[in-house]
Structure 1
Amino acid sequence: MLALIGFVLMAVLMVVLIKSWVSPPVAFIGLPLIAAVIAGFGAEEIGGFIGSGLKSMLSTAVLFVFSLSYFTLMDEIGLFDPVINFLTKKAGKSRMMIVAAIILTTFVAHLDGSGATTFLIVAPAFLPIIKRLGFRKEALLAIICGPYAVMNIVPWGGPTMRAATVAEVETGDLYSFIMPGVVVLIILAFVNGFLVNLNEVRHGLKPESEAEIAAEEAASESAKRTWKYWFNLALTLVMLAFLFLDTPLPLYSIFMIAYAIALVVNFPQTKTQNKKIKELGQNAMVMTVTLFSVGIFMGVISGTGMVDAMATAIVNVLPAAMAPHMHWFMALFSVPLMMILGTDAFYYALLPIIIGVVAPFGVSAQAVAATFLLTATFGTPVSPSVAAVYVGLGLADITIGDHIKYSLKFVWPMSIITLIASTLLGVIPF
């Protein structure tokens, strides 16, 4: 019964988000609470679920508020304009050069294995460029999804460590085992970028006019001549360096400190600082509310046991004849499963069950872990259950429904192609 309620909840949630019938906060707050009441939980229990869920989102919400405010401020004062002008002039009319630059930058930005860091570095830098080319904002996140999937499973990344722990193998050994599949992922990251570019061309590009470009370039040249520009550039570079360094400072505190310094330097008067804080805070408010709403959603579905019940039910409903190949057939749906269950539940709840089912047929735990790592990684950057995704959504100013509607048609086929190619390469047993 609990699993059924969970599946209905997730189905309704996906439809509501994609169709935009209500705003995301309303969906993430209202739907799980209704589901919890139907499942028979009382007010005190539901209150506990909400509390634990909100605590899990607190650091991400703080990170989001200050990072978005910081980058919005930097964009206003023209920090990124010279880079934008340089790249667009070098690329000329070659959209694929810009796409390749986005992909390569994402590879580097995701070296620390943090999805939030990746979006924070890539989205503010390239959003103005893709607008100038006439791409939709959703296209930027769809392009990022390819290299994000590759770097999301580096040996020090969360998914790989989770999978290695469950499979009881060394993280380095697991990564070495999946390396041929990782090569496939790298190739598909560029294929994905090419397909997104093609999709935008077919949709119809709406690039900025020559007058708009000329005005932006003039503004950026003016910004370059002030000492504040060079200070802001140095501050941003130092801040980005701290994101990659292994420091005891929490990620959000780095942005808080940089934001405070930037406000004081660029707006010395207290009255102006307060005005700017209000203006910049408005941009972050909607997505911050959404983030806390997601916290309620995650707290309820985890605390009620819906996630575990769904994972078990998925395995139990499959035909017994499929048991020797269950890991392979389940991997066909790893992207939507990752979107429904979230990273922790996917690896800690579903993966052990699958390992137990196929073990009597000679399929090793390492092979099952490899199967899910290589295929489910495409689901992470489009999952409504992954907090880092909302950082990218806020920076790109799009909704989770628009992101899923646009990107799912690219990432799910890429996952299936990876499954087939890795099977042919001998990484994934059938």
Structure 2
Amino acid sequence: MLALLGLCTILLLLAVILSKRLSPLVALIVIPVAAALVGGFGLDTGRFVLAGIQNLAGVVGMFVFAILFFGIVSDAGLLDPIIDRILATVGTRPSRIVPGTTLLALLIHLDGSGAVTFLITIPAMLPLYDRVGIDRRILACAASLAAGVNFLPWTGPMIRASAALKLPIPEIFAPLVAVQAVGLAFIFAVSYWLGRREERRLARAPRAAPEAGAAAGTGAASPAGTGAPLPAGTGARTLTEAERALRRPDRFWLNLALTVAVLGTMVLMAEKVPPALMFMLGTALALMINYPSVDAQRQRVDAHAKAAILMASILLAAGVFTGIMQGTGMLKAMAQGAVAFVPPGMATHIPFVLGLVSMPLSLLFDPDSFYFGVLPVVAEVAHQLGVPPLQVAQGALLGQMTTGFPVSPLTPATFLVCGLTGIDLADHQKFTAPLLFAASVVMTFACVALGVFPL
């Protein structure tokens, strides 16, 4: 009975989220509470909910203050010298421009927001791509590769995996550092290959007016594409008056030291110092250093509060779902029923197989329905067969809404990429999805080679 009730709960949750009949926030609260009441748990439902929310308190705190911290130091101009240096260094050779785009997107994605990464990277690089005549699909691909492989402790998928399986983020992330390094090496190699291929194409293409390539966005050649010098300031960015008013260039080194201290402490001393505390202290110090007045501090918090509150509310709602699913025993009953269908000899390969299919699953499941609906069941099945849930979480993070999110029609960021570059969704998916999938596969095999997953 419990297994059937749990299965119906999850299927209904997936159905209403994927069909957009309910928002994830509403679905994660209403459906499990209704299921618990139908199952006869009555007032015990409140106890299950409270336990689920309490388990997520540290994760929610870390995520909220991570968004605020990175937003504040970005407003102060921490990334400006890096962006300007990259634009000045790449010159007019595609074999430098494309890896430079990947590096820029990688650095901007330190805040964990794919939307912010694309909003900064693409407008900054697009004039250069059009002037040189580089195919705009490559710009979309380079930014997507960087954002997809850069799964950090404060990014959405990592936090969802931790919340859904009640696992400490450092335990999930630490073994994946070397794996992520392999993934980063792969995407830079791909970026260089794309740039070299574009250089050869431009060398063979007939000369065309720069305006034609820029207007069409098809990668038509321009004089710069064949090595002609670009006019000065081609890659220069223009800040708005409001952005310039927020910049604090005289405090760049202070902000850099603060960022290094926060991230270094979080990575190296995660077991002794809670990540939420580090981001709280970092946010407070960033506000004091850059915006000492109370009004300015309130404005900076207000500017980034929407994104923080939205994600925090979804995570707390997920605590309702996971608390009820575990407290009622529905999750365990479902897993016990599913164990009979998995050959014992294949159990150890569950994380590896999940790693291989996790990127394509991004096209079928949005992050909330996968991490809070599908992943707990898979992890419980694996656990009952002797496979640590930790490895299941790591397998999912190799692709599900990490490498998969920039091409998934289920995330707004995908449409943002297409809109900013002016390319069709189908063209973006056909060009970029195979390379993102390849990155996911490479990292999955790296997990085996580095001992994260068993053979």
TM range (shorter): 0.5 to 0.7
- Answering whether residue 281 of structure 2 is matched by residue 282 of structure 1, we say no
Whether the 8 Å contact between 2:125 and 2:235 is mirrored in structure 1 is: no
What is the DSSP-based 3-state SS (H/G/I as helix, E as strand, rest coil) of the residue aligned with 2:273?
Answer: coil
Moved more, 246-255 or 332-341: 332-341
Q: CA 1:3–1:193 in structure 2 vs 1: closer, same or farther (change >3 Å)?
A: farther
What is the alpha-carbon distance in structure 2 between the residues aligned to residue 9 and residue 195 of structure 1? 47
Whether the 8 Å contact between 2:347 and 2:382 is mirrored in structure 1 is: no
What is the alpha-carbon distance in structure 2 between the residues aligned to residue 214 and residue 105 of structure 1? 17
TM-score (norm 2): 0.59
1:64 equivalent in structure 2:
63
What is the alpha-carbon distance in structure 1 between the residues aligned to residue 60 and residue 23 of structure 2? 18
What is the alpha-carbon distance in structure 2 between the residues aligned to residue 146 and residue 187 of structure 1? 10
Unaligned runs of 5+ in 2: 127-136, 153-157, 159-168, 198-216, 220-232, 416-428
Deviation at 1:244, TM superposition (A): 2.7
What is the DSSP-based 3-state SS (H/G/I as helix, E as strand, rest coil) of the residue aligned with 1:216?
Answer: coil
1:114 equivalent in structure 2:
none
Trace 1:14-413 onto structure 2 (pairs within 5 A): 14-38=14-38, 40-91=39-90, 93=94, 94=96, 96-98=98-100, 101=103, 128-130=120-122, 132-133=124-125, 143-146=146-149, 148=151, 158-159=171-172, 213-216=236-239, 226-246=249-269, 248-317=272-341, 322=343, 324-325=345-346, 327-328=348-349, 332-333=353-354, 335=358, 339=371, 349-355=380-386, 373=391, 377-380=394-397
Whether the 8 Å contact between 1:9 and 1:35 is mirrored in structure 2 is: yes
What is the DSSP-based 3-state SS (H/G/I as helix, E as strand, rest coil) of the residue aligned with 2:288?
Answer: helix
Whether the 8 Å contact between 1:146 and 1:188 is mirrored in structure 2 is: no
* CA displacement, residues 278-327 of structure 1 (integer Å, 9 cap, x when unaligned): 33323422122112111112211221222222222222245xxx554455
Unaligned runs of 5+ in 1: 110-117, 162-170, 199-203, 356-367
User: What fraction of aligned residue pairs are identical, expressed as a percent?
Assistant: 21
1:364 equivalent in structure 2:
none
What is the DSSP-based 3-state SS (H/G/I as helix, E as strand, rest coil) of the residue aligned with 1:13?
Answer: helix
Whether the 8 Å contact between 1:342 and 1:383 is mirrored in structure 2 is: no
What is the alpha-carbon distance in structure 1 between the residues aligned to residue 117 and residue 411 of structure 2? 23
Whether the 8 Å contact between 1:103 and 1:143 is mirrored in structure 2 is: yes
Q: CA 1:402–1:312 in structure 2 vs 1: closer, same or farther (change >3 Å)?
A: farther
* CA displacement, residues 199-224 of structure 1 (integer Å, 9 cap, x when unaligned): xxxxx899xxx899531399999988
What is the alpha-carbon distance in structure 2 between the residues aligned to residue 184 and residue 282 of structure 1? 34
What is the alpha-carbon distance in structure 1 between the residues aligned to residue 114 and residue 66 of structure 2? 13
Moved more, 252-261 or 118-127: 118-127
2:4 equivalent in structure 1:
4
One-letter amino acid matched to 1:5: L
Whether the 8 Å contact between 2:76 and 2:249 is mirrored in structure 1 is: no
One-letter amino acid matched to 1:253: L
Whether the 8 Å contact between 2:61 and 2:276 is mirrored in structure 1 is: yes
Whether the 8 Å contact between 1:54 and 1:292 is mirrored in structure 2 is: yes
Whether the 8 Å contact between 2:49 and 2:319 is mirrored in structure 1 is: yes
What is the alpha-carbon distance in structure 2 between the residues aligned to residue 137 and residue 86 of structure 1? 21
Whether the 8 Å contact between 2:53 and 2:323 is mirrored in structure 1 is: yes
What is the alpha-carbon distance in structure 1 between the residues aligned to residue 274 and residue 17 of structure 2? 31
* CA displacement, residues 25-75 of structure 1 (integer Å, 9 cap, x when unaligned): 11221222222233x143321101110111111112111222211211222
Whether the 8 Å contact between 1:29 and 1:294 is mirrored in structure 2 is: yes
One-letter amino acid matched to 1:46: T
Whether the 8 Å contact between 1:307 and 1:341 is mirrored in structure 2 is: no
Whether the 8 Å contact between 2:106 and 2:147 is mirrored in structure 1 is: no
Deviation at 1:143, TM superposition (A): 4.4
Whether the 8 Å contact between 2:287 and 2:297 is mirrored in structure 1 is: yes
* CA displacement, residues 76-95 of structure 1 (integer Å, 9 cap, x when unaligned): 22221111222244345456
Q: CA 1:219–1:422 in structure 2 vs 1: closer, same or farther (change >3 Å)?
A: closer
What is the alpha-carbon distance in structure 1 between the residues aligned to residue 119 and residue 254 of structure 2? 23
What is the alpha-carbon distance in structure 2 between the residues aligned to residue 383 and residue 300 of structure 1? 24
* CA displacement, residues 211-266 of structure 1 (integer Å, 9 cap, x when unaligned): 99531399999988842333323322322232233273321112222222222232
What is the DSSP-based 3-state SS (H/G/I as helix, E as strand, rest coil) of the residue aligned with 2:237?
Answer: helix
User: What is the number of equivalent residue pairs in this alignment?
Assistant: 361
What is the alpha-carbon distance in structure 2 between the residues aligned to residue 70 and residue 160 of structure 1? 20
Whether the 8 Å contact between 1:138 and 1:403 is mirrored in structure 2 is: no
One-letter amino acid matched to 2:103: A
2:422 equivalent in structure 1:
none
Whether the 8 Å contact between 2:172 and 2:393 is mirrored in structure 1 is: no
What is the alpha-carbon distance in structure 2 between the residues aligned to residue 157 and residue 227 of structure 1? 34
One-letter amino acid matched to 2:80: D
Alignment RMSD, CA only? 5.4
Q: CA 1:37–1:399 in structure 2 vs 1: closer, same or farther (change >3 Å)?
A: farther
Whether the 8 Å contact between 2:63 and 2:308 is mirrored in structure 1 is: yes
Deviation at 1:21, TM superposition (A): 3.5
